[in-house]
Amino acid sequence: MYTVVERELELRLVLSPERAVAVPARLSYRTDDPYAVHIAFHIDSLCPVDWTFARELLVEGVFRPCGDGDVRVWPTKAEGRCVVLMALSSPAGEALLEAPAAPVSAWLERTLRVVPPGTEGEQLGLDDGLDRLLAQ
């Protein structure tokens, strides 16, 4: 059995400095995948677009720019609001998403209470599995 921490949120897909469109999204964290966060973007298609990346990256990105390659995250202000920007890149294209900082931070705090930083490996049961394997 594992725990799931979810949050529905409206993000903004930044198309240009003057234009953005709303994108409903679901942030998910599961204790059976303790190092990762999952974001499902519900765009105008039958299936949501899913992204998975390190929880640590999002935690750090709320405070300072971080990330390399496919996922970069950084805090900023937009129209007087504190937001978190996520630049996502894949062979299929690129997207810049803006998320309100307060709800993202509150959701991250919930995930950190469920699995504190540094205890993620305990969730995987690797020690128990290794003990069983060596006992044979």
What's the pLDDT at 127? 60
What mean pLDDT value characterizes the chain?
A: 90
Q: What are phi and psi of 34, to 5 degrees?
A: -70, -15
Domain that holds residue 130: 4-135
Q: Could you read off the pLDDT of 38-81 as tens digits, one per residue?
A: 999 887 667 888 999 999 999 999 999 999 889 999 999 988 99
**Buried residues in 85-105 as b, exposed as e (16+ CB within 10 A):** bbebeeeeeebbbbbbbeebb
What's the pLDDT at 104? 97
* pLDDT of 130 above 60: no
Nearest residue to 125 (alpha-carbon basis) of 43, 33, 40, 63: 33
Average pLDDT over residues 18-26: 93
User: Domain holding 24: CATH number?
Assistant: 2.30.31.20
- The count of structural domains within the chain is 1
Give Cβ neighbours of residue 14 (< 8 Å, ≥ 6 apart).
20, 85, 96, 97, 98
